[in-house]
Amino acid sequence: MADKSSSNAYWSANIRIIMTCMVIWFVASFGFGILLRPMLSGISVGGTDLGFWFAQQGSILVFLALIFFYAWRMNKLDAEHGVEE
């Protein structure tokens, strides 16, 4: 029974990490790039407003950062649950 609860804990933590990453990516891409763009128009980044920058470049960089974060965090989670490679 402990094996099943350990497996459930592992997948619960995995889903929590995935959902956190998805929310961050949603806020960075859809939130900052579309919904909050008028509020960010006064902030200049690279000669354009911050909302446009997030829509064109920032959400991609956030996505790349999330990939590295997810890989790092999953390696740590795998080690915690004894399922590392």
pLDDT, one tens digit per residue, over 63-83 is 999 999 999 999 999 999 888
Q: Could you give the number of structural domains in the chain?
A: 1
- The interaxial angle of helices 2-26 and 59-81, nearest 10 deg, is 170
Confidence check: pLDDT of 1 > 50: no
Task: Tell me the C-alpha distance between 17 and 60, whole Å.
Answer: 19
45: amino acid identity, one letter: V
In a domain, 10, yes or no: no
More confident residue, 45 or 65: 65
CA atoms in the 13 A half-sphere facing the CB of 54: 23
In a domain, 31, yes or no: yes
Specify the pTM: 0.81
Parent domain of 42 = 17-81
The 8-class DSSP code of residue 36 comes to: T
Task: Tell me the C-alpha distance between 54 and 50, whole Å.
Answer: 6
